[in-house]
Amino acid sequence: MTITQLKYVLAVAKYQNFTAASEKCFVTQPTLSMQIQKLEDELDVIIFNRKQKP
């Protein structure tokens, strides 16, 4: 778990959108998604349900 991954999680929670969060974090959307996926895999939990819109 890294500070960057936690920042990405907070950004997605705040903006409720991966694209908007990635823009605010100045990274590409695939990079943000990959880092959150790595964190989910490491913790063995699903942080965001990607199949359902908020």
Specify the CATH number for the domain of residue 9: 1.10.10.10
> Taking the complete model, does pTM exceed 0.85, yes or no?
yes
Q: Is 26 within the bounds of a domain?
A: yes
Q: Does some domain include residue 21?
A: yes
| Cα separation, 37 vs 42, whole angstroms | 9
Query: What is the rounded CA–CA span in Å between residue 3 and residue 22?
Result: 15
Residue 27 CA, distance from chain mean position: 11
Q: Are 40 and 27 in contact (CB under 8 A)?
A: no
Domain holding 31, by residue range, is 3-43
The answer to the question of residue 11 being in a domain is yes
User: pLDDT band for position 53 (50/70/90)?
Assistant: low
Is position 52 within any domain?
no
Instruction: Please count the structural domains in the chain.
Output: 1
* Residue-wise pLDDT tens digits, 2-30: 999 999 999 999 999 999 999 999 999 99
